[in-house]
Chain A
Amino acid sequence: MSWEAEIVNGLLDAEIDLVTQLPDGAMGAVLEGLHEADVDTLRVEREESAIAAASGAWVTGERAAVMCQSSGLANAINAIGSLSVPARLPFLALVTRRGDLGEFNIAQVPAGYGLPAMMDEMGVRHTVVSEPGALRKTVRMAADSAFSTRTPYVVFLDATVTGYGQEAQ
C-alpha cells in the first residue's frame, strides 16, 4: 500500500467525519483518496481556521482531522494554545513536516524542525513518522487516543515518508 493509501485507510478506520485542510502538494493523493471514499473535506483560508473548525465539529459529536504543512501548524499555534488545549477540544492532525532531512529551503527550517518541541511546550502529544510501514495503524491509534482522552494529537510526516524536493541539487 502507498503511504497515501495507508493514511486514507487509517482515517477511515478511525471513522473521521471531517477533514479540514489547506492544500500541501505532498498530500494531493490523500485528498483525492478521501474524496473517493466520500469523506467530507473542507479547504480553509488559514490553518488556524482548520483547527477552529475541527474544534467546533467536536461539540456535535463528530471526529475531525486537520491536514496541513508544518508552516500551517505554526500558523495555528494560538488556536491550539487558547482553544484546543484549554477547552479540551480534540483533533487529529496530519502534518507534513518540512525543515529536517533533505530540506533545501531555509525558510522551512525554524518552524518545521522546531514544531515537535513547540508542541511539547504546549502539552500537545505527537509522534514523528519517518517510516511509512505502520502508518495506517499510527493514524488510527492517534485518532483513537485523541478522541478518547479528549486532547489533540499531532502526527508529523517526515520527508522520508512524503518525499522531498531536490531543487538545490
Chain B
Amino acid sequence: MAADQFACTAAVVEETPDAVVVSNLGVASYVLAEVADRDRNFYLWGSMGSTTATGVGVAHGTDEQVTVLTGDGSLTMSLGVCSTVVTADQPNLTVVCFDNGIYGTTGGQPTPSIDFAAAAEAQGLSATSVADDDAFAAAYADAVDHEGPSLIECAVEPTDPEARPTFDFPHIPRRVRDSLNE
C-alpha cells in the first residue's frame, strides 16, 4: 500500500498554511506547484541531496513552521543530514521523505531500499513511517505539534505531474523572503 503524493502535499498545505515548504528538485516541487503555488514554496531546481539542510537554514531564522518535502533518492545522497537536523534541534522543522522507490525525476530508475525512519532514529531524530493518506495527515499534525524536529517517511505511488514551478530560480527565494518579511 502507498499514499498519494498529491493528497499528502495538499494535507501539508492545509494543516500548516503559513509554513515555508522547501521542496526537493523534480517531482516534489512539481507536485507542490500543482497543489498550490504559494509565496512560501521554496522550490529547488537543483542541489539534489541538499533539500533537508536548506530547510534547517530556513528554520534557524524564522519561528514559522518549516516543512521539507524531500525524496528517497535525495535523502539517500545525504542520509547523515538527519544528524544535522538533530544538532540544530529546531522545534519548527518537519522533514517529510516521499519514498516512491525510484529516482522519479530522471525516469524511474530504482533507488536503494532504505528504512528511513530507522536511519533517522539511529541518528537521534524522532521518526515515523506511513503508507496511506490518512495516516500521513495524522502523522504530519503530530509532527507539527512535536516539540523537536522530526521526520516522516511516507511511501507514495510514483507520479508524473504536469505542473512546473517558475523557471526564474532567483525569484523563488526572493518571494519566500518577501513573504516572511511582510
Contact = CB atoms under 8 A, between A and B. Distances in A.
Given A79-B50, A88-B173, A59 B44 contact: no
Nearest to B82: A45
Dominant SS at the A interface?
Answer: mixed
A86 interface: yes
B84 A44 contact: yes
A166 interface: no
Contacts of B107: none
Contact of A42 (B55, B56, B173): B56
A61 B83 CA distance: 25
A94 interface: no
Interface stretch (B4-12, B58-66, B152-160): B58-66
Interface in A32-70: 40, 42-46, 48-62, 64
B169 A52 contact: no
B169 to A, nearest CB: 5
B173 A48 contact: no
A58 B178 CA distance: 11
A88 B175 CA distance: 12
Dominant SS at the B interface?
Answer: helix
A144 interface: no
Interface residues of A, number: 35
Interface residues of B, number: 38
B56 A17 contact: no
A52 B54 contact: yes
Contacts of A53: 53-54, 56-57, 60, 84, 88
Contacts of A54: 57
Nearest to A53: B57
Contacts of A92: none
B28 to A, nearest CB: 15
B180 A48 contact: no
Interface in B96-148: none
Contacts of B62: 60
Nearest to B64: A60
A141 interface: no
A44 B53 contact: yes
A29 interface: no
Given A48-B50, A62-B61, 17 more contacts: A42-B56, A44-B84, A45-B81, A48-B49, A48-B53, A48-B78, A49-B50, A49-B78, A52-B50, A52-B56, A53-B53, A54-B57, A59-B42, A59-B176, A59-B180, A82-B46, A87-B45
Interface of B: 20, 22, 42, 44-62, 78, 80-81, 83-84, 87-88, 169-170, 172-174, 176-177, 180-181
Interface of A: 17-18, 20, 40, 42-46, 48-62, 64, 78-79, 81-83, 86-89, 150
12 contacts: A17-B61, A42-B56, A44-B53, A49-B53, A52-B47, A53-B88, A56-B54, A59-B42, A59-B58, A59-B176, A83-B46, A88-B173
**What 8 pairs across the A-B complex have the smallest Cβ distances?**
A56-B57, A60-B61, A82-B46, A53-B57, A49-B53, A52-B53, A52-B50, A45-B80
